[in-house]
Structure 1
Amino acid sequence: MSTPAIELREATKRFRGSSGIMTAVQDLTISIRPGEFVAVVGPTGCGKSTTLSLVAGLEPASSGEVIVHGEPVRGIPAGIGYMFQQDAILPWRSVLDNVATGPRYRGSSKKDARQAAAAWVDRVGLAGFEGFYPHQLSGGMRKRVALAQTLVNDPRILLMDEPFSALDVQTRGLMQDELLRLWQGSGAAVIFVTHDLEEAIALADRVVVLTAVPATMKAEFAIDLPRPRDVEAIRLTTAFLEIYREVWQSLRDEVARARRGATLSGN
């Protein structure tokens, strides 16, 4: 067995707020292999994004361990790509220069960075738009730029925090297919946070269900659907619907519990 790409061992994260200590994640234990695509679902505000922050080294664990490629996380680990819900495209830079930013920060020459960027701009389907600026792009095109920005650095771990949630349904489906095409065979481990259970099942090798806050693992489900996948076509299969019903049965109780908690707290 290869060394896991990511391990959380009874990881807990507490935050101090105006009303006292709040536990966002509690005793969370997950192991993710290199090349595995894991989707994380759970109620709103249950700690999914906090989990990504622990792996990325943006937040230290209050207790427990977070290990990336066999080493405890003490800062931002090497080889991590992070794609947020809101893109980080710089409005004053062209598509090409936005994608080249990462390699430049990592010490590549301007020529080498632009060559790598041009290759990824082409791979995400934006050839011919290298000189365009963000305000000239559609929402889907901006997401393609953000995807190229992330993948140009050849990450061994890809953290994705609802990256397609703001897109319309058709564009979202296209971006899901694009992500699978670019990830397939890369060997990168993926944690994909989403509120969309259909999206989670269509993309992932495994779906992890988190409890209402404080988040801990409630259940995990292997997604035994063949690859490569067409995300729109696979949603119509009997196997997909059976998996959906099984995962939703686990998730819906946590969604209901989170709603009851919000009602009792007056939110």
Structure 2
Amino acid sequence: MDTTAAIELRGVTKRFATEGPEPYTALRDLDLEVGPGEFCAVVGPTGCGKSTTLTLVAGLETPSEGTVRVHGKPVSGITPEVGFMFQTDAILPWKTVLDNVSAGPRFRGVGKREAFADARDWIRRVGLSGFEDRYPHQLSGGMRKRVALAQNLINEPRVILMDEPFSALDVQTRSKMSTELLALWDLTRPAVVFVTHDLEEAIALADTVVVLTAGPAATIKARFRIDLPRPRVVQEIRFDPRFVDLYQQIWEALRAEVDLAYSQITATPGQEDA
């Protein structure tokens, strides 16, 4: 059995250049490990570096200090075995559902017939059979998210990074999409890092919830193992007494960071260092 971490960040610090004399430190000395097949949710206040963490794993950014590895290999650029779902749709508006979902395999050299067959299978799995010839503007928000899921999963990534992918959806659609995500994830069990501001969503989905401190120079404050049984129905798991216990524990760790971030945003000039 392979015990190599799917994702490993060690001593990671990330700085960004600013117009002032000093760079902005988004993350400082961050250690994060996600095992193969593990679903990890990352929560924290606005501006704490959640999305930056994803871009480092994806190879879209490089750390200022420390190391980032995916399946034991240092990340030195965009990694083909990593899928990324963004907040906004990354599907191509001029292509049909079938063309969008088959684009990944075709880019990797798979023949058109095989790519279309695989795409139709994944379109069926995400519940969009009959919509193969539709364009994104003809789909609802939830349907576009299903296309994005199929677009990622057809490539059989070993790691999927998700940056608040359902935040634009209404509450009912969001819960339903979360349950569908878990069912699809269970088919191949890639490692997942799921960034969200919604603590209930994090607990309902994840095996592990990681709490980041308020920025700047954010780091990991606490980790919580989510011992709720699987398979889970997101709309129902929230009523489990253990879910309520976990929520209270994690909120205790998160609340102080949210309060600190809010005070930094609302402070008048000169008060920050008072």
For the residue of structure 1 that corresponds to 2:188, the secondary structure is coil
Q: Secondary structure at the match of 1:184?
A: helix
Match of residue 175 from structure 1 = 177
State the one-letter code of the partner of 1:94.
T
Aligned pair count reads 267
Which residue of the partner structure matches residue 244 of structure 1? 247
Aligned partner letter, 1:12: T
CA distance in 2, matches of 1:221, 1:22: 29
How far off is 1:184 after superposition?
A: 1.0
Aligned counterpart, 1:13: 14
Three-state SS of the structure 2 residue aligned to 1:120 is helix
Residue of structure 1 in register with 2:223 after alignment: 220
Structure 2 counterpart of 1:228, which letter? P
Note the residue ranges of structure 1 that are not aligned, 5 or more in a row: none
User: How many angstroms does 1:135 deviate by?
Assistant: 1.0
Q: Which segments of structure 1 move beyond 6 Å, counting only runs of 4 or more?
A: none
What is the alpha-carbon distance in structure 2 between the residues aligned to residue 116 and residue 180 of structure 1? 20
Residue segments in structure 2 that go unaligned for 5+ positions in a row = 270-274
Shift of 1:8: 0.3
Deviation for aligned residue 1:87? 0.9
Give the superposed CA RMSD.
1.2
Paired with 1:232 and 1:116, the residues of 2 have a C-alpha distance of: 30
Tell me which amino acid in the other structure corresponds to 2:147: V
Give the Cα–Cα distance (whole angstroms) in 1 for the partners of residues 9 and 187 of structure 2: 24
The normalised TM-score by structure 2 is: 0.95
- The residue type equivalent to 1:232 in the other structure is Q
> Greater CA deviation, 108-117 or 25-34?
108-117
The one-letter code of the counterpart of 1:115 is A
Per-residue CA deviations over 1:186-206 (Å, capped at 9, x if unaligned) read 131000000000000000000
Q: Show the counterpart of 1:258.
A: 261
| One-letter identity of the residue aligned with 1:102 | G
The aligned amino acid for 2:69 is I
Provide the residue aligned with 1:76 in structure 2: 78
Deviations 1:42-80 (A, max 9, x none): 000110000000000000000001011111111112310
2:272 aligned partner: none
Alignment of 1:194 onto 2:196? yes
User: Secondary structure, in 3 states, of the residue corresponding to 1:14?
Assistant: strand
Shift of residue 265 of structure 1?
A: 6.0
Distance of 1:47 and 1:192 partners within structure 2: 13
For residues 109-147 of structure 1, the C-alpha deviation after alignment (integer angstroms, 9 at most, x for no partner) is 111111111110000000011011111111110110011
Q: Taking structure 1 as reference, are residues 42 and 165 closer, same or farther at Cα in structure 2, changes over 3 Å only?
A: same
Q: What secondary structure is seen at the aligned counterpart in 1 of 2:53?
A: helix
Inter-partner Cα distance in structure 2 for 1:80 and 1:202: 23
What secondary structure is seen at the aligned counterpart in 1 of 2:66?
A: strand
Shift of 1:108: 1.0
Output the CA distance in 1 between the equivalents of 2:152 and 2:27: 26
Which secondary structure state, in structure 1, belongs to the residue aligned with residue 247 of structure 2? helix
How far does residue 263 in structure 1 lie from its aligned partner after superposition? Answer: 2.0
Question: What is the identity, as a one-letter code, of the residue corresponding to 2:260?
Answer: R
